[in-house]
Structure 1
Amino acid sequence: MVAAGCTVPTFAPNGSSQAGPVTSSGAPTTNGTADWQPCPDVPKDLVGQTAPGMTYDCAEVSVPRDWNDQNNGEKYAISMIRIRSSKQSGRIGSLLLNPGGPGGSGVDLSVYLSFGEAFNGLPTEITNKFDIIGFDPRGVGRSDPIKCIAPDDQDASFAAPPDPQSQAEFDELVALNKKIAGDCGAKYGDQLPLFSTEQAAHDMDALRQAVGDDKLSYLGFSYGTLLGATYAQLYPKNVRALVLDGAVDPKENFVEGSETQAKGFERAFTNFTTWCKATPDKCPIAADARKAVTDALAAAATKPVPGSDGRQATPGWIFVAVISSLYTESSWAKLADAVAELKQGNPKGVFTLADQYAERKPDGTYSNLFDANLAVNCADTDDAPTIDEVRKLQGEWRQKYPLFGAALAVGMLPCAVWPGERDPYPAGAAAGAPPIVVVGTTGDPATPYENTADLASMLGVGHVLTWEGEGHTAYPSTPCIVKAVDGYLIDLKVPQAGLRCPAK
């Protein structure tokens, strides 16, 4: 489960800042079918306030549970939020957002991004021209969420050894995954394949119609690139503009995709260790950061440090903290501090990083990010390896990718034992679609840069935009990326061929 949650990292604004009064924007209404109702409580619950000059309205769209059998009457409710700026003029339409995962909440992401550039949010040029539409895909967040993993089982899964070397340890992890899969199968049964990416892509076209747009404008991060690419294949004539940031390569099979991630995380961790050596004043483990982390993992295997909430800082939790920290370069210093503090007997930093990634709440409960993540990933996968094949790859990848290889191999176990039928997504050209911008980050751990050109090529209408930076996804990290993406979304101006934006 560990490295599967490829959501774009977002940060809520500081609640101490004072928001001004929010008034009706007076923007033109749409002709869609959505029944919008004011919902300022959503940003207030998430952040503690609304963004200055922004209005928030929510709606639900009813969609068939199974787009291949629309007459059976069964429905899912897809939740959306519409965010409008009081400065909006010359409205182009709606911009749908997806943060990835699968399992990430687009409603939450859009709220965070509505606070603008000061908080690494959406530029005013975008909010002045588009209604921002965040949606939770089927089974996620507020959209008939799938919830079938007990909190104790999630704790056990994250705490488990990332590289269980003894057969007994490995068998224990297999048993845990079988229990989780069995619980989900018992609760959802025939619904499990309906959480697939292809089904969710059909939902997106229903959302497009509900907001009143003739063509779809979309910004998808990480797994959201797969969702967007699937939409482009199914509805190429309905695309206005798609930005796919942090590309997933649909042509890779399940094993290839997992190995690509292992390679990406290994490279990102090496970049972290290089940063440590170059900035020892910011990295207390700078002498040999890789050794410090591997030593921490080894020590935790025999004597894990107890936390204040009763958990032990096992190798599993430390590994999740490492994964979490590699999603943004700004978290590198937090990882270095956490490892240094752990050696002194304080695991707080490790648990803070790990819980942020796992969406674990202080009371020990979880969001449904990883329930949905498993359901979607496994519904999409009809080529998962067997348990014995996972065990074999674990040893092989340990040699190739010392810190991440074995863990990414073991991470395929859930789909190896997952019940239910599968519904894999298409992997082909978006014939008839307009140009699509595919953005890649050279240091991306979770969706490695090599995927960028592969996705653009597969679509046939893809144009690569490169950020020579670190962390997961690029927009809106630097002025160069912002200028290129905004020019495309607003004016449909495709970035110049081969454009590479510098890290800063």
Structure 2
Amino acid sequence: MVVTAGCTLPAFAPRADVDAQGSAAPPGTAPDWRACPEVPDDLVGRSAPGVRYECARIQVPRDWAGGTGATTGPGADETFEIALLRVRSDNQRNRIGSLLINPGGPGGSGVDTAVYLSFGEQFGGLPDSIMERFDIIGFDPRGVARSSPVECISDADLDGVFGYDPDPESQEKFDVLVMMAKRIGQGCGDKYGDQLKLYSTEQTARDMDAIRAAVGDDKMTYLGYSYGTLLGATYAQLFPQRVRALVLDGAVDPRQNLIAGSESQARGFERAFDNFGRWCAANAANCPIAPDARAAVVSAIDKARSSPIRSADGREATAGWVFYAVISSLYNETGWRQLARAIDQLDKGNPEAVFQLADNYADRDQNGRYTNLFDANTAINCADDEERPSLERIRQLQSQWRTQYPLFGPALATGLVSCTEWPGGTDPYPTGRATGAPPILVIGTTGDPATPYEQTPALAEMLGVGRVLTWDGEGHTAYPQTPCITEAVDAYLIDLTLPAEGLRCPAR
């Protein structure tokens, strides 16, 4: 349920108050932009210098296949509201248009991400050359954060899922996991019924075209990370003639089903953890669990199964919380030192660093409250895939992957239970060529745990117009982390100049 998120950012900040955004513009009309400096203030404590933040909301049909999108009369309530944030530089000149942003997840807030990216290259944000030529448009996809959010999983249930044994080996333990998934599924089904399938990727891709029209662009310029690459690929298949430039960073292969996608992630996280282990052995001064990081982590998880360390507030660092601390640390190479310190401190009786890493991943605040990241994540993932593995098949995979991917495989297998027990029907996205679209830039990182590199050429090949750009680096996604990647992407976004065929950018 959790690891399949593949979130681009290791943590998502809580969403801000949306009252200042005004009434949502009806379908087909221009949004009513209003200044909203409170959004960056709430997220990071200040606005970036030299930029303006404006917010708006638009309405879209709940069901693009059959919804009316009407604002009066029959069907008037059959819309979702989509929250937008526009970042515009005071130094903007020779404006090309808008650059639409999605951070992945599914469940990540594009509004929040647009704020983070507005702070410029020195803070890991967008280069000035991009900020000066584009309005940056962040949007929260339907069901996410500020956009008619799907909210049906309690904080207690999320605590239960995250804290549970990542490899419930006995049938009794596995049955408890199934019971939790059934309770979550029933609660969400009781609240939303067959509306759950309307949070699908294809519906959101059609919302993206409504955003394109609302902001006044003839064609789409888009930057999608992780799951956002799936959104971009779906858009390119649905609206190939409306594509100007798409950057798909941290590529997802749309042809993978739930099982194949989960196995791919199990393989990717094992590979990333091996890279961490080699770093640890070679940098013992910065890695207190050297020389055998894997043995130290496995021992920490095993100990947490029988004797979890309790924090000052009484919270127990169970095996699940230790496991998700490991997951969280592998999304970026900078997390390696944090993980080593966290496991070392846990061994000395202090679980706080473990909780910090795990809570960052889970989007859990210090009071035990969650955003709707994983409500939306589950709803979207399960709406997208028609193939729901049986519980018997999941048990087989759990055993098989325990051998092949010992640290991550069992959790990726048992995570499939969430969709097996999910109600509401499905709405699969297309998986074909983007015939008629211009070249699309597809970026992969060789050490990416969440969207392993093998998916990058697969996505480019499927689209038929993909140009692969490779970063021989670590962590999840590449732009704008190194000059080589940044220069190639900027040239494509601004001038539509593709990087050389087969270009590989070196690690930092």
Select which of 341, 345, 360 maps to 1:341. 345
2: CA distance, partners of 1:83 / 1:32: 20
Q: Secondary structure at the match of 2:285?
A: coil
1:80 paired with 2:84, answer: yes
Select which of 273, 278, 286 maps to 1:274. 278
Deviation per CA, 1:8-53: give whole Å up to 9, x if none: 126899xxxxxxxxxxxxxxxxx97111011000000101100000
Whether the aligned pair in 2 keeps the contact of 1:282 and 1:333 (CA below 8 Å) is yes
Pairwise CA distance, 1:7: 1.7
Q: Secondary structure at the match of 1:418?
A: coil
Query: Where does 1:309-328 land on structure 2 (aligned, <5 Å)?
Result: 309-328=313-332
Q: TM-score, normalised by structure 2?
A: 0.95
2: CA distance, partners of 1:11 / 1:192: 25
| Other-structure match for 1:3 | 3
| Matched AA of 1:398 | R
2: CA distance, partners of 1:213 / 1:452: 28
2: CA distance, partners of 1:309 / 1:147: 27
1:57 paired with 2:61, answer: no
| Other-structure match for 2:291 | 287
2: CA distance, partners of 1:198 / 1:358: 26
| Other-structure match for 1:447 | 451
Structure 1 portions without partners, runs of 5+: 14-30
Q: Secondary structure at the match of 2:224?
A: strand
| Other-structure match for 1:413 | 417
1: CA distance, partners of 2:247 / 2:473: 18
| Other-structure match for 2:18 | none
| Matched AA of 1:41 | E
Pairwise CA distance, 1:452: 0.1
Q: Secondary structure at the match of 2:53?
A: strand
Deviation per CA, 1:251-296: give whole Å up to 9, x if none: 1111111100100000000000001011111100011000000000
| Other-structure match for 2:128 | 124
Runs of 4+ off more than 3 Å: 10-13
| Other-structure match for 1:108 | 112
Pairwise CA distance, 1:309: 3.0
1: CA distance, partners of 2:109 / 2:218: 25
| Other-structure match for 2:22 | none
2: CA distance, partners of 1:63 / 1:269: 42
Deviation per CA, 1:73-116: give whole Å up to 9, x if none: 40000000000000110000000000000000000001011000
Whether the aligned pair in 1 keeps the contact of 2:433 and 2:462 (CA below 8 Å) is yes
Q: Secondary structure at the match of 1:227?
A: helix
Pairwise CA distance, 1:310: 2.3
| Matched AA of 1:5 | A
2: CA distance, partners of 1:301 / 1:422: 36
2: CA distance, partners of 1:252 / 1:150: 30
Whether the aligned pair in 1 keeps the contact of 2:10 and 2:361 (CA below 8 Å) is no
| Other-structure match for 1:218 | 222
1: CA distance, partners of 2:12 / 2:314: 28
1: CA distance, partners of 2:38 / 2:4: 31
Pairwise CA distance, 1:158: 0.2
Whether the aligned pair in 1 keeps the contact of 2:10 and 2:331 (CA below 8 Å) is no
2: CA distance, partners of 1:202 / 1:298: 46
Q: Secondary structure at the match of 1:70?
A: coil
Select which of 143, 168, 173 maps to 1:169. 173
Whether the aligned pair in 2 keeps the contact of 1:185 and 1:192 (CA below 8 Å) is yes
Q: Secondary structure at the match of 1:293?
A: helix
| Other-structure match for 2:43 | 46
| Other-structure match for 2:19 | none
Q: Secondary structure at the match of 1:281?
A: helix
| Matched AA of 2:137 | I
Q: TM-score, normalised by structure 1?
A: 0.95
Q: Secondary structure at the match of 2:314?
A: coil
Aligned residues: 487
| Matched AA of 1:419 | P
| Matched AA of 2:3 | A
Query: Where does 1:377-392 land on structure 2 (aligned, <5 Å)?
Result: 377-392=381-396
Select which of 240, 258, 279 maps to 2:262. 258
Deviation per CA, 1:336-375: give whole Å up to 9, x if none: 0000000000000100000000000111110000000000
| Other-structure match for 2:67 | 70
Deviation per CA, 1:121-154: give whole Å up to 9, x if none: 0000100000000000000010010010010000
| Other-structure match for 2:16 | none
Whether the aligned pair in 2 keeps the contact of 1:98 and 1:220 (CA below 8 Å) is yes
Whether the aligned pair in 2 keeps the contact of 1:11 and 1:112 (CA below 8 Å) is no
Query: Where does 1:356-371 land on structure 2 (aligned, <5 Å)?
Result: 356-371=360-375
| Other-structure match for 2:463 | 459
2: CA distance, partners of 1:246 / 1:463: 14
2: CA distance, partners of 1:489 / 1:219: 9
Query: Where does 1:124-273 land on structure 2 (aligned, <5 Å)?
Result: 124-273=128-277
Pairwise CA distance, 1:212: 0.4
| Matched AA of 2:119 | F
Whether the aligned pair in 1 keeps the contact of 2:53 and 2:86 (CA below 8 Å) is yes
Q: Secondary structure at the match of 1:496?
A: coil
| Other-structure match for 1:27 | none
Q: Secondary structure at the match of 1:241?
A: strand
Query: Where does 1:392-411 land on structure 2 (aligned, <5 Å)?
Result: 392-411=396-415
| Matched AA of 1:196 | S
Whether the aligned pair in 2 keeps the contact of 1:438 and 1:462 (CA below 8 Å) is yes
2: CA distance, partners of 1:11 / 1:248: 20
Pairwise CA distance, 1:308: 2.5
2: CA distance, partners of 1:201 / 1:118: 32
| Other-structure match for 1:21 | none
Q: Secondary structure at the match of 1:7?
A: coil
1: CA distance, partners of 2:497 / 2:10: 27
Whether the aligned pair in 1 keeps the contact of 2:4 and 2:265 (CA below 8 Å) is no
Structure 2 portions without partners, runs of 5+: 14-27, 69-74
2: CA distance, partners of 1:447 / 1:245: 10
Deviation per CA, 1:413-437: give whole Å up to 9, x if none: 0001111110111100000000000
Pairwise CA distance, 1:2: 2.5
